[in-house]
């Protein structure tokens, strides 16, 4: 069964990267610190055929594109190999280029029960996520978040997020657990910790915002975040 929540590792020539991806009902939504990935798939026997396009959401040019174009659409084909899925693909604008990727399932069994979403609640979809520290502290994270009917999954090249929320009348609140899927040794705040985050804030048709208290090891930190809607789901 292909549906689920995955860490993706991919490379094309000298360029390599990681991201997270939520796969459900023929759609693929995910991304990392700089890019969102939006795609679709279908199963043909034991083969999975998909199309995935990129969308840059952060201006940091340290994050390189695979083929020089941020919005390239890649056609991929792959199969299960044990509990992973292996794919090969190429962008339509550069069909001789080859991308190889491995999708490894992340543990989403610990997702909390979904919250209730009423009128005026936050919209289902794929969002860019920009977290910044408060109280004069330096640091933060960028990534993506999938919101769907009271549940949230997201991440970036090192972390993945699981949580639940309730929302109505332009407000929302919830809880997230931030965990590593790949060691983030250079991150002094989130690296090496399972971080619990309780948040509340506002939402509208274009996105959402929240302030939160995070527990990272023995430290209690205040955070603020902005979510911008990239793709309705």
Q: Please check the confidence at residue 151 and state whether its pLDDT lies above 80.
A: yes
Q: What is the average pLDDT across 121-129?
A: 97
115 vs 91: which has the higher pLDDT: 115
Q: Please check the confidence at residue 131 and state whether its pLDDT lies above 70.
A: yes
Number of H helices, E strands in the chain: 0, 16
* Cβ count near 164 (within 10 Å): 16
Report pLDDT for 66: 65
Q: What is the average pLDDT across 151-156?
A: 96
Where do the domains of the chain lie?
A: 4-105, 125-232
* Tens-place pLDDT, residues 45-59: 999 999 999 899 987
Topology alike, domains 4-105 and 125-232: yes
Report pLDDT for 114: 96
Report pLDDT for 229: 98
What's the CATH class of domain 125-232?
mainly beta
What's the CATH class of domain 4-105?
mainly beta
Cα–Cα distance, 138 to 173 (Å, whole number): 25
């Amino acid at each position: 069964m292909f549906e689920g929540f995955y860490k993706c590792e991919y490379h094309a020539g000298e360029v390599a990267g990681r991201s997270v991806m939520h796969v459900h009902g023929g759609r693929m939504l995910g991304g990392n610190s700089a890019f969102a990935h939006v795609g679709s798939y279908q199963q043909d026997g034991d083969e999975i055929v998909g199309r995935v396009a990129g969308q840059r959401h952060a201006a940091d040019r340290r994050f390189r594109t695979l083929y020089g174009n941020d919005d390239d659409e890649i056609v991929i084909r792959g199969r299960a190999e044990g509990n992973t899925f292996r794919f090969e693909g190429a962008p339509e604008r550069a069909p001789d280029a080859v991308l190889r990727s491995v999708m490894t399932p992340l543990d989403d069994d610990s997702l909390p029960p979904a919250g209730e979403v009423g009128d005026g609640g936050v919209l289902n979809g794929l969002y860019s996520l920009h977290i910044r520290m408060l109280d004069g502290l330096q640091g933060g994270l960028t990534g993506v978040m999938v919101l769907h009917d009271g549940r949230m999954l997201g991440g970036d090249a090192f972390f993945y997020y699981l949580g639940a929320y309730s929302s109505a009348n332009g407000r929302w609140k919830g809880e997230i657990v931030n965990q590593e899927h790949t060691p983030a040794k250079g991150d002094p705040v989130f690296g090496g910790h399972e971080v619990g985050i309780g948040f509340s804030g506002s939402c509208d048709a274009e996105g959402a915002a929240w302030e939160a208290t995070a527990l990272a090891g023995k430290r209690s930190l205040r955070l603020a975040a902005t979510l911008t809607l990239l793709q309705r789901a």
